[in-house]
Amino acid sequence: MTFRSGLYSYEIVTDANQTLYSVADGKETITEPILYAFGNAHIAQTYVFRHNGRLYEGRVSYYSGISGLDWTIGDALNLPPSLEVAAGRDISGDEARNCFSCHGTAATVGNKLQLQGLVTGVSCEACHGPGGKHVEAMNSGTRGNSYTFNPKSLDPETLSQEFCGACHRGVDTVAMMPDLGGINNVRFQPYRIFNSRGHDPNDQRLACTACHDPHVELQQDDSSYDSKCTACHAAHRANPVRKRGDGPASKFAFATKPCPVANEHCVSCHMPKVDLPGAHFRFTDHRIRIVKTGEPYPY
């Protein structure tokens, strides 16, 4: 794959042994083997290599929408001042730890990056913790303690904003980012749903796992989410209406109005897909709302 912008030309080539990432300015060339790829290329794939002993995120990434390379999301699009800066961005330190923790499993030990123990991909232990004792217990027929952490034990707000939000970015994480506003935050689903009108962080029906099962492939069909929407927005309810101070939200139903327009394909109207510039992909905006034609993107 090749890409060119201004002085700099990029090339990614795979031979029988490795994949090489190269950038040249017409006079000099930096070439390094790609060590890791973040993303399965359903939307995009970003490459990490080591240069001068430090980890770098490649300045260009692969995007399935164009079947080719373009600038990595988050990188400034102005002309890089040097060949080394054009090659990639130094992510050594805390950023590398965070990247590998979200895109892989067992990348850290004692809060320090230890890539020799990395398991590629997001496996069971990424969410449930170390599984050695669990395997021993199951093999021995032990009942009771399974020796794994179950995120379902968390309250809805902690589950969505802290647990899922640790990688998908919750409201506290986004608040600490230098550029809070802007369309780029459409990628941060826990943050976006937190800012939905009428959102109650303590209602389990608005937790991430109410709509998404992390053990199966993401549902792409809009209609597959209709039952989740009508769990709150239904014409008739068997449960009593919840009032403030009445107790946990899971025991009550909100007094929410049914949609006067339709009772199917809800997310196509109330969770619009948004084109993220440079990503070559339309992200589903998780800020639930009544979308009006021509209205600006709500930051």
Per-residue pLDDT band at 106 (split at 50, 70, 90): very high
Comparing 8-17, 43-52, 224-233, the range with the smallest average pLDDT is 224-233
Residue 139 backbone phi and psi in degrees, to 5: -70, -30
Same domain, yes or no, for 123 and 185?
no
Q: Is residue 30 part of a domain?
A: yes
Residue 129 belongs to some domain of the structure? yes
Residue 290 located in a structural domain: no
Q: Are residues 277 and 214 in the same domain?
A: yes
Residues 215 and 250 in one domain: yes
Q: Is residue 20 included in any domain, yes or no? A: yes
Number of domains in the chain: 3
Q: Are residues 157 and 194 in the same domain?
A: yes
The answer to the question of residue 297 being in a domain is no
Whether 254 maps to a domain, the answer reads yes
CB 117 within 8 A of CB 109: yes
Check whether residue 199 and residue 247 sit in a common domain. yes
Q: For the ranges 57-66, 130-139, 230-239, which has the lowest average pLDDT?
A: 230-239
Residue 243 class from Cβ within 10 Å (0-12 exposed, 13-18 middle, 19+ buried)? Answer: exposed
Mean pLDDT of 26-43: 95
Is residue 298 assigned to a domain? no
Cα 225 to Cα 145: distance, rounded to the nearest angstrom = 34
Claim to verify: residue 157 and residue 265 sit in the same structural domain: yes
DSSP, residue by residue, 144-166? S---S--GGGS-HHIIIIIIIHH
Between 251 and 220, the more confident residue is 220
Strand 8-14 and strand 19-24: the pairing is: antiparallel
Q: How many CB atoms lie within 10 A of CB 168?
A: 19
What's the pLDDT score for residue 262?
86
Of 92, 110, 132, which closes a domain? 92
Q: How far, in Å, CA of 246 to CA of 256, rounded?
A: 17
Q: Any idea which residue has 């689903």 for tokens?
A: 189
Residue-wise pLDDT tens digits, 243-284: 444 554 444 445 577 888 888 899 999 999 999 999 999 999
Expressed as residue numbers, the domain containing 130 is: 99-140
Whether pLDDT at 288 is above 50? yes
Q: What is the pTM of this model?
A: 0.86
With 70 as the cut, is the pLDDT of residue 236 above it? no
Confidence of residue 49 (pLDDT cuts 50, 70, 90): very high
* Cα–Cα dist 112/248, whole Å: 38
Backbone angles phi, psi at 198, to 5 degrees: 80, 10
182 lies in some domain: yes
